[in-house]
Amino acid sequence: MHESEVIERLRRIASAPEARGLTDDVALIDGLVVSHDSIAEGVHFFPFDPPASVGWKLVGVNLSDLAAKGASPAGALLSLTISGDGEWESEFLTGIEQACESYGLPLIGGDTIALPKGAPRVLGMTVLGRAGEHVPARSGGHAGDVLWLVGTVGDAACGLQLLLDDAGSAGPLVDSYRRPLPLLGPGQAIGPLARAMMDVSDGLLLDATRLGDASDCGVEIELAALPLSPAFVEARGDGKGARLFAATGGDDYVLLAALPPDADPETLCLPQAARITRIGALTAGGSLSLSWNGAKVELPERLGFEHSGKSAEQDPAAPVADRP
């Protein structure tokens, strides 16, 4: 069963207004932003990944959902599976502890279960955040809004490819894949201006399409404008092919925001390391349109990663999916 089919079925159950129609990454309940993500061995992390980095990643991907709503961390519930002698779990919890301390996230409860021998680990976390005065949904964009990206794309996908080629790979690109950094500060700064905002986890092109669909808008993206890190450019270059790779990779956990055309986020007081780039716009009608230095580019066959019943077999160590 495809992920989008599952979500469509769940919409019949999740009918409360707090669920936002399951078109967003979060629920909004009495001033709290609530989100949940799970990661699975062989789908979101490798069996040979350091357990502490898996713990960090679980916290990071969940906090990224709060960042996309301009929220501040309030608490977390952990779902932990136990297998073997406990050494893996002990190191995993070290990563959880480090990430929670780094971002001021209190762990307030959760659940543990034991796995049958040989079963892959599946780990989950629910995070709660304090909402600001404005919680931007995916669905608030207007035709003519400018699309801004906070952060760079492609590093994690490049790190994943390095690990697929050589399990002993290391360096900043591998670190980007294993230890995502949620952009909480930039999210809180940009959130009040954003008509629509989300984090990019399944690939920029796919997630931008989701934002456009939720806002009943088309999307235009200029590939030449996409921000790339020096490490990515050194590994893959900065030509059209490299930028398509970056735009369709996953696990970026950067922020995509639709702002009114008269808003200038470059004037905001953003954290020093934050990089914000204008990459396109929302349009009236239509779907996704790509260009390269102004010339139209044919859409790639694959816009990003989508979960299905066979996705773990076809695309190992793929990114955590958002709601469509």
Nearest to 68 by CA among 205, 224, 171, 189: 189
The mean-pLDDT minimum among 20-29, 163-172, 248-257 falls in: 20-29
Count other Cβ atoms within 10 Å, centred on residue 140: 18
Q: Which range, of 6-10, 145-149, 311-315, averages the lowest pLDDT?
A: 311-315
pLDDT tops 60 at residue 322 = no
| pLDDT single digits (tens) 186-243 | 999 999 999 999 999 999 999 999 999 999 999 999 999 999 999 999 999 999 999 9
Banded pLDDT at 321 (limits 50, 70, 90): very low
Shared-domain flag, residues 54 and 157: no
pLDDT surpasses 80 at 91: yes
**pLDDT interval class at 15 (50, 70, 90):** low
Average pLDDT over residues 276-304: 93
Q: Which of 130, 162, 179 is the last residue of a domain?
A: 130
pLDDT cut 70: percent of the chain above it: 90
Same domain, residue pair 28 and 87:
yes
Total domain count, the chain: 2
Mean pLDDT over 36-49 rounds to 93
Mean pLDDT for the stretch of residues 245-253: 94
- Between the alpha carbon of residue 89 and those of residues 38, 150, 226, the distances in Å are 16, 33, 38
Give the pLDDT confidence score for residue 307 in this predicted structure: 52
In a domain, 216, yes or no: yes
Per-residue confidence band for 160, with pLDDT thresholds at 50, 70 and 90:
very high
Section 10-28 average pLDDT: 74
Question: Domain containing 31: what range?
Answer: 3-130
Could you tell me if residue 317 is inside a domain? no
Last residue of a domain, one of 95, 130, 165: 130
pLDDT digits 0-9 by tens, 253-262: 999 999 999 9
Residues 6+ apart with CB under 8 A from 115: 81, 82, 83, 121
Least Cα distance to 250 among 188, 171, 307, 309 occurs for 307
What are the pLDDT digits (tens) for 294-316? 999 999 988 887 655 554 444 54
- Domain of residue 28, CATH code: 3.30.1330.10
